[in-house]
């Protein structure tokens, strides 16, 4: 009786790579927010929005960066939901 042997090779998953990617993403996000805050000195409407976000973050007891992430995440989810609804019609 002959038997068929199949070997699947998967590269070993290195969890350190995930940590590095997450750190790079965090650094990118932090720099982006910092640049937005710096630019707000030239845009009064943006400065007001940043002050509002900072107030909301303090009320929630979270960091300013977490608050910005939360707002952007909710905006992204809402935009995708609207796109999905529009595609169904």
- The DSSP code sequence of 33-83 is HHHHHHHGGG-HHHHHHHHHHHHHHHHHT--HHHHHHHHHHHHHHHHHHHH
Q: What is the mean pLDDT of residues 17-33?
A: 83
Asked whether residue 37 is assigned to any structural domain, the reply reads yes
Q: What does the mean pLDDT of the chain come to?
A: 86
* Structural domain harbouring 55: 15-88
Q: Which of 1-15, 38-52, 54-68 has the lowest mean pLDDT?
A: 1-15
In this prediction, what percent of the chain has a pLDDT beyond 70?
A: 83
pLDDT at 49 over 90: yes
- Asked if residue 9 belongs to a domain, the reply is no
Is the separation of the CB atoms in 46 and 39 below 8 Å?
Answer: yes
The total domain count for the chain is: 1
Whether 2 maps to a domain, the answer reads no
What's the rounded Cα separation, in Å, for the pair 15 and 47? 39
Q: Judge whether residue 57 has pLDDT over 70.
A: yes
46 contacts 35 by C-beta, under 8 angstroms: no
């Amino acid at each position: 009786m002959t038997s068929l042997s199949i070997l699947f090779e998967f590269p070993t998953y290195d969890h350190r790579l995930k940590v590095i990617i997450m750190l790079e993403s965090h650094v990118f996000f932090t720099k982006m927010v910092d640049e937005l805050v710096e630019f707000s000195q030239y845009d009064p409407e943006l400065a007001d929005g940043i002050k509002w976000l900072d107030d909301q973050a303090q009320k929630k007891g979270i960091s300013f960066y977490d608050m910005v992430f939360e707002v952007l995440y909710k905006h992204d989810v809402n935009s995708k939901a609207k796109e999905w609804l529009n595609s169904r019609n």
